[in-house]
Chain A
């Protein structure tokens, strides 16, 4: 103890304390960061099914079971349909990398033909939504304003007004929808991946899904206008408040320091 107190005035003491604090913070973060479980989904045609089955047994069977019946590590894929596979694998969510509250989007590791084969195989296990065609999800000619209203009724509660994403319980989250492929948005609404509920055609017809896709394209793509300037993440008052404090008040205080500072005096010579 005495040794410690003698050394606390050491010049490096501050650095050591800082490092300890950082390590403690990191440890706390690791301890509290959400941990959980993983899941997945998949779909079908004769040759493609065979090819898909091979791919499946290598990449998917360990969690979803050899026949897609599901295991403790992954849900059953019987009846989830081709659309679910196309979404999960096509956005890189599947195959899952590590357990977590939720399986996030990542780099896609299968080629589109491989995804199609996987989808064909999983679809052969039980009937489910098929992969939508371009005419189903293409938003051209859709009603953007109606899409906006539908989005605010059905989607904004999780994904935010313009699809910036938001938090769910216990570390789960609704992802940002910025620049997501229209096909994948359509498939997500159709199949309800992971904890997202589905919005089947019986309650939200195809035309309305196109409206929603059109709205998202209008307000949350890299071409979307933000007339007022920086969007600040589209997150509302929290980011506005931070910006106001740092760049608004911060700039004003910097100016105030200049106004009140003493002018440089002439050097004695």
Chain B
């Protein structure tokens, strides 16, 4: 059908002889585009009809799927979970909507492509390329125009105008930069301090109750927050991001670091839960090795040896919190951390 017209209007496509002349001399010469070979659909009307029906069927299937989508939306409750092999216990609504939408879309695409592949002309034709770069006379014209424009503006001649304009343009973005100042507060000493201070009781993260030394057994792992920090407080997230504490009890004779032992209470050691690498809550404590691993980047610290780094990308030991027991027998902090917790930064020192 249309293939006939196309090939007539573009004789080159049908002329495999292109280049064939030199062929005898050069065995590697371009023999030119091969002649178009017809598809079954081009010569057998019944095959073409079959293709037509297949395309129409795909479009029809898409319509059915869209109706299925609408029906699923109406019929299936949003919270209904059913078991569908092999996907598991899934939301039937999500499954039905996704499949029907997928089929509706896919069939439109498949129909269109099948149509193009079997019924539209598949005669390949060449189009000439043209060089991207402009011919020299165009370039000369443009340069001349530019020179004339530049001269008319006096840009090169009136240096005062040019220089002040550059100055103004260079300065005006400063207003925008200024406006960014209030994006945040200044760091000041904020990264150096946490909520911990002398006398603050260690509150069990789980029970929200103060901890006693006898609550902590050798080999156990407990997390604590400072007294007075409640989960519904407005700045809870910001405070806990620095104050989170990890408590383990190690037999005093197993503690290798002298200061660690001094700062502990009967072998109960309190370390910052925030990794000194980039701040993940590190707490993968192995009670037999006393190693604690960060789940984000695998920095490993030895809690029995001043929490020094024994593997991974962290640059320094976890800060230890000095703890003791108050008059009522509860564990308390004996001050803030003596160094900033969390990731290192330029001013950390």
Contact = CB atoms under 8 A, between A and B. Distances in A.
Given A227-B90, A263-B118, A39 B288 contact: yes
A198 B94 contact: no
A202 B90 contact: no
Interface in A248-269: 258-259, 262-266
Which of A157, A166, A266: most chain B Cβ within 10 A? Answer: A157
Interface residues of B, number: 53
Contacts of B122: 262-263
A265 B95 contact: no
Chain A interface size, under 10 / 10 to 19 / 20 to 34 / 35 or more = 35 or more
Contacts of B293: 168-169
28 contacts: A153-B223, A157-B284, A157-B295, A166-B284, A168-B293, A169-B289, A169-B300, A192-B220, A195-B289, A197-B219, A197-B248, A202-B214, A202-B217, A203-B220, A205-B207, A224-B89, A226-B87, A226-B88, A226-B89, A227-B94, A228-B90, A229-B90, A229-B98, A263-B117, A265-B37, A265-B39, A266-B43, A266-B44
Interface in A72-112: none
Given A202-B216, A264-B39, A265-B39, 14 more contacts: A150-B206, A154-B223, A168-B286, A169-B286, A169-B289, A169-B300, A194-B288, A197-B220, A225-B91, A227-B94, A228-B90, A229-B95, A263-B39, A266-B44
A195 B37 CA distance: 72
B208 to A, nearest CB: 11
A172 B281 CA distance: 20
Interface in B10-43: 37-43
A228 B94 CA distance: 7
A230 interface: yes
A contact patch SS: loop
B221 interface: yes
Nearest to B205: A153
Contact of A199 (B211, B220, B295, B311): B220
A130 interface: no
Interface of A: 39, 150, 153-154, 157-158, 166, 168-169, 172, 174, 192, 194-200, 202-205, 208, 223-231, 258-259, 262-266
B54 interface: no
Contacts of B42: 266
B287 interface: yes
B13 to A, nearest CB: 15
Interface in B300-345: 300, 311
A17 to B, nearest CB: 34
Contacts of A205: 206-207
B287 A227 contact: no
B215 interface: yes
B207 A198 contact: no
Contacts of B286: 168-169, 172, 195, 197
Contacts of A228: 90-91, 94
Interface in B187-246: 204-207, 211-212, 214-217, 219-223
Nearest to A207: B207
Given A153-B206, A266-B37, A266-B42, A227 B91 contact: yes
